[in-house]
Amino acid sequence: MSTEKRSFVPYGDRIATVVGGKGQLGRKIVTGLESLSFKQVRVCETGDPFLTFVDQSTDLFFAVDDRQIISMLQASHDLLQPSHSILDGSSVKEPLITTYRELDYAKISVCSTHLGAVPTQPWRGIKVWVCEVGPNSEQAKRLAVDLFLSTNSSIQTINIDDHKNVERDQWITMAIAHVVAGALRASDFTLNQFDSYSTLNAELLALPVGRTLGQGTKIPSEVLFNQPKKSDFLATLKEGISQLEQSLDDRATLQELMQQNIDFHNNPDGFVNALFKKAGIIGARNANIRMHKFSFRITDDQPGVLRRILEPFYDEGANLTAIDSMPGTISDEERSKGVNPDKVVDFDIGIDPKTIDPEKEERIKKGLIELGCTVSE
């Protein structure tokens, strides 16, 4: 089917509705759309007259799960027109494909998106998959790209059929995290204890388990429960456990199994070693920060700020062993004061303990506060 060439309608002439706009994802989508200067950005929640929103909007973004999306699209089928753009942020795509392809065939522009992190985390540099549906996706895809460019995210454009690979990654990660968490619970060994006694590999394993548990139950249960191929994915996990179990009685057999895994995953050649090195870098940074650190945040990120905040450390002769920074999550108080959420940065500075003492530490803290930093105790 050939696509019709559509003329771009400026955002200032368009009205967007975010379904689920009061949720964690929805709130940030609303902010992103507003930054594109839409004529109006509206929020539709459960109990609101959804069909009225559809009739009065040009663009719909569904910040709800796949089952709700299908139900709402079926209910609004007769109101959807080629002038509409349909987008979503669901973690599961396969159940949506048939409905989306039908909409594309009707010349309605559809593009599916997936943020590769919890919505509350700052989106700068976070992967976002923008999934093309069909020949009429271009209008909705342009909006998706503009939306996530406004949040400084890392955009990966794929066909919606290929999203199954993202879903497999998510499912296996979350399933294994809860298997590990369940095994620790069964042995009355908390994750805190596990982490306290961890070698580097165990410390790295604790991170995805902790992040998965930290997401609560809503999104992980959506990913695990709604996945159409969950039985197939679970069967592969069981097969891996079975292979390990069968090899534990003979060390030579165990080493052979391990070597098979290494050989398979080292394709392209050297990939295993590349990940080994990457994990080692993370471990070294964690180790350096663990020895002695300063934690603080700034709310006015701009060129030259890093140089200024490092001056108190230089003045005191403190030897830096690590500098970690990431976009900070804005607080309600900061938001009320008009702080730009994209200007908030959290820092962890590792210090060689031999180059610091309580007096130096106090002077460094004072210097950071004078520079406008908020220093953690």
Span 99-121, pLDDT tens digits: 999 999 999 999 999 999 888 77
Question: Which pTM was predicted?
Answer: 0.80
Cross-strand partners of 194: none
- The pLDDT tens digits of the residues spanning 226-248 come to 898 999 999 999 999 999 999 99
Percent of the chain whose pLDDT exceeds 70: 99
CATH number of 11-160: 3.40.50.720
* Residue 359 clears pLDDT 50, i.e. is over it: yes
**Nearest residue to 11 (alpha-carbon basis) of 60, 51, 59:** 59
- The pLDDT tens digits of the residues spanning 138-197 come to 999 999 999 999 888 999 999 999 999 999 999 999 999 999 999 999 999 999 999 999
Of the listed ranges 146-150, 182-186, 283-287, 297-301, the one predicted with least confidence: 283-287
**Nearest residue to 1 (alpha-carbon basis) of 126, 129, 134, 121:** 134
pLDDT of residue 196: 93
pLDDT of residue 90: 93
More confident residue, 289 or 253: 253
pLDDT of residue 1: 47
CATH number of 287-375: 3.30.70.260
User: CB-based contacts of 376: which residues, under 8 Å, 6+ apart?
Assistant: 295, 296, 297
Q: How confident is the model at residue 29 (pLDDT cuts 50, 70, 90)?
A: very high
- The pLDDT tens digits of the residues spanning 48-99 come to 999 999 999 999 999 999 999 999 999 999 999 999 999 999 999 999 999 9
Q: How confident is the model at residue 5 (pLDDT cuts 50, 70, 90)?
A: low
Give the start-to-end residue ranges of the domains of the chain. Answer: 11-160, 165-247, 287-375
